[in-house]
Amino acid sequence: STLFQLINTGGSQLSEQELRNVILIMVKPEAYRWIRDLANDSNFRNCTALTDRALYEQYDAELVVRFLVFRWLERNKLKVIGDIGDFLTDTIVELAQSDQFNSFRAEAEESFRFTFERLSETLNSDSFHKYDASRERHSGGFLISAFEVIAIGLGYNAKKYIDGGSLPDIQSISKNLWQIEEFTKNSGTGVRASSRIPVTIPLGRRLFE
């Protein structure tokens, strides 16, 4: 995306999401304000429990963008992501500018608020931390791979639970995730996002079916 590169050549130390914010403010301020509003959701904040530095760099807004983009993305498109930063920027800008934005927004917001309300009630600040079976507790820091499976997987299926379907056991899914080789092999450090996402997103969709 040339616009992204254009802004990025100023030599300033902006994070990818700060640049994305600038672009969204230029093309659709309403979309930017909506994403910031979702990032301020108290349940979302409880579950992600980000560091001050991550918040300063707008990583909370980036997680919202990831939720919005990957919850909705068709499975065949997960394999052609390439650079994750450019992909997120291009996709969210395209969504913001599309004629479907308002209907997308209403449905996505309902799923987002439902997802983080349920996670806040069950896992809270442990939502995206590794579960250590030997010590029977979650530990370590925020893991994007866990977010992709648990938040986006639940979000993808949220509509049927909102409509009255019985919710699966979120806590046991979270604990058992770390026994699934397909996940552990693809979620460690050094696994690129473009390799990880085609595994984590479909896995999350399946686990919360």
Show the 3-state SS of the chain.
Answer: CHHHHHHHCCCCCCCHHHHHHHHHHHHCHHHHHHHHHHHCCHHHHHHHCCCHHHHHCCHHHHHHHHHHHHHHCCHHHHHHCCCHHHHHHHHHHHHHHCCCHHHHHHHHHHHHHHHHHHHHHHCHHHCCCEEECCCCEEECCCCHHHHHHHHHHHHHHHHHHHCCCCCCCHHHHHHHHHHCHHHHHHHCCCCCHHHHHHHHHHHHHHHCC
CA trace torsion 22, 108, 117, 28 (10° rounding)? 20
Task: Kindly report, residue by residue over 113-137, the tens digit of the pLDDT.
Answer: 999 999 999 999 999 999 998 999 9
| pLDDT beyond 80 at 45 | yes
Query: How far apart are alpha carbons 166 and 140 in whole angstroms?
Result: 31
User: Given pLDDT bands bounded at 50, 70 and 90, which one contains residue 187?
Assistant: confident
| pLDDT beyond 70 at 1 | no
Higher-pLDDT residue of 80 and 5 is 80
Query: How far apart are alpha carbons 201 and 66 in whole angstroms?
Result: 11
Number of residues written out for the chain? 209
| pLDDT beyond 60 at 92 | yes
Position 115 scores a pLDDT of 98
What value does the mean pLDDT take over residues 85-98? 96
Position 14 scores a pLDDT of 81
Task: Kindly report, residue by residue over 149-181, the tens digit of the pLDDT.
Answer: 999 999 999 999 999 999 999 999 999 999 999
What pTM does this model have? 0.93
User: Given pLDDT bands bounded at 50, 70 and 90, which one contains residue 11?
Assistant: low
